[in-house]
Amino acid sequence: MRIVVLAGGIGGARFLRGLKAAAPDADITVIGNTGDDIHLFGLKVCPDLDTVMYTLGGGINEEQGWGRADETFRVKEELAAYGVGPEWFGLGDRDFATHIVRTQMLSAGYPLSAVTEALCDRWQPGVRLLPMSDDRIETHVAVDEDGERRAIHFQEYWVRLRASVPAHAVVPVGADQAEPAPGVLEAIAEADVVLFPPSNPVVSVGTILAVPGIREAIAEAGVPVIGLSPIVGDAPVRGMADKVLAAVGVESTAAAVARHYGAARPLAARDGEERAGGAGLLHGWLVDSVDAGAVQEVAAAGIRCRAVPLMMTDLDATAAMAREALALAEEVRAS
């Protein structure tokens, strides 16, 4: 079975660990978000790609969900001693090596997709990790600071400001001129199922869908597209999804996010039966048990919906979620 997963950072990476356990023989391609990428100290940092690579490769700082395990911060301290900022982004010594190798290869002319493949040679994540695009895309957030409206880098919004001020707009700068990375559209076209993990629907999955061609490829793939809600009990399980959902006018509920992704056109109608067209992407949506009340509303929007435990408390819980998503995909395929 060929599975394509649109993944952001921590939530997506943790879900992938469970998916690998649930479908050990599956051929999994991850389309990774690169809108969180940031250039610091002359280096290109790719937080979401690295979180997937480290998490599946066994190098992640488990409690943080980002960065490397067993880190030290000598380089960061020395940069601060030189007064070279920013100090608010915690880059560890081991993590610096990843960014040095990445930047060195990019400077030599390798595209980000080739660089990511090379880095994964070391980490062996057990999935094919593709950046959504080889072109530079950076998510910026419009905020009011010191009485004026400013666009700041997503990392500054999230890490420096802890998303403590309202986001008035979220813009994936460069997305409209970008192209999907080599292999992305092919992976979607060849997929048996496409999954939206519990990643941030705006700055992670949303940014991937903003790359021209990707949304269309998923809509035309003609296979089940199943999502898992990152919102549980009207709040994000972690991160700032509620803040960026508000910026795009979507309320922070499991049902609202499903509607935001939209109901897909039903899979190929059988024996000429007429089927209502959906301009969206989802055939199925999993909500957490606490949101069982939302199942009706999601189903009424034309998206099959089930309420199952969605807290990724450990590998077994996450594998169970992944199995539920794959089962829902088969139900959609058979319907």
Instruction: Name the minimum Å distance from CB 172 to ligand FO1.
Output: 13
- Cα 190 to Cα 94: distance, rounded to the nearest angstrom: 36
Comparing CB distances to ligand FO1, the nearer of 45 and 328 is: 45
Comparing CB distances to ligand FO1, the nearer of 10 and 221 is: 10
Q: Report CA-CA distances (Å) from 217 to 57, 248, 299, 330.
A: 29, 23, 24, 20
Q: What is the DSSP secondary structure assignment for residue 68, as one 8-state letter?
A: B
Comparing CB distances to ligand FO1, the nearer of 20 and 99 is: 99
Instruction: Name the minimum Å distance from CB 51 to ligand FO1.
Output: 5
- Cα 176 to Cα 49: distance, rounded to the nearest angstrom: 21
Instruction: Name the minimum Å distance from CB 154 to ligand FO1.
Output: 7
3-state secondary structure of 276: coil
Contact stretch for ligand FO1 (CB under 6 A) within 41-49, 169-177, 228-236, 274-282 = 41-49
Binders of ligand FO1 among residues 94 to 133 (CB under 6 A) are 95
Strand 284-287 relative to strand 235-236, pairing: unpaired
Radius of gyration of the chain (CA): 19
Is the CB of residue 174 less than 8 Å from the CB of residue 16?
no
Comparing CB distances to ligand FO1, the nearer of 159 and 301 is: 159
Contact stretch for ligand FO1 (CB under 6 A) within 43-51, 108-116, 249-257, 264-272 = 43-51
Read off φ and ψ for residue 257, nearest 5 degrees.
-65, -40
Comparing CB distances to ligand FO1, the nearer of 153 and 265 is: 153
Binding ligand FO1 (rule: CB under 6 A), the pick from 18, 32, 47, 131 is 47
Number of residue whose CB is nearest ligand FO1: 9
Is residue 90 a contact residue for ligand FO1 (CB under 6 A)? yes
> Helices marked H in 37-196 — which ranges?
47-57, 74-81, 93-107, 112-123, 154-155, 184-190
Residue keyed to tokens 């009485």: 147
Instruction: Name the minimum Å distance from CB 251 to ligand FO1.
Output: 21
Is residue 36 a contact residue for ligand FO1 (CB under 6 A)? yes
Binding ligand FO1 (rule: CB under 6 A), the pick from 27, 40, 41, 89 is 89
Q: Please give the structure tokens belonging to residue 214.
A: 């990707």
- Cα 40 to Cα 274: distance, rounded to the nearest angstrom: 54
- Cα 255 to Cα 299: distance, rounded to the nearest angstrom: 9
Comparing CB distances to ligand FO1, the nearer of 90 and 213 is: 90
Binding ligand FO1 (rule: CB under 6 A), the pick from 32, 44, 52, 66 is 66
- The full DSSP string for 193-256 is EEEE-SS-TTTTHHHHHTSTTHHHHHHHS-S-EEEE-SEETTEESSTTHHHHHHHTT--SSHHH
Comparing C-alpha atoms, which of 200, 274, 287 is closest to residue 244? 200
Size of the site for ligand FO1 (CB under 6 A): 18
Is the CB of residue 93 less than 8 Å from the CB of residue 75?
yes
Contact stretch for ligand FO1 (CB under 6 A) within 47-55, 78-86, 218-226, 304-312 = 47-55
Binders of ligand FO1 among residues 138 to 157 (CB under 6 A) are 155
Is residue 32 a contact residue for ligand FO1 (CB under 6 A)? no
Binding ligand FO1 (rule: CB under 6 A), the pick from 16, 31, 91, 287 is 91
Site string for ligand FO1, 155-184 (x = CB under 6 A): x--xx-------------------------
Binders of ligand FO1 among residues 9 to 28 (CB under 6 A) are 9-10
Q: What residues line the site for ligand FO1 (CB under 6 A)?
A: 8-10, 36, 45, 47-48, 50-51, 66-67, 89-91, 95, 155, 158-159
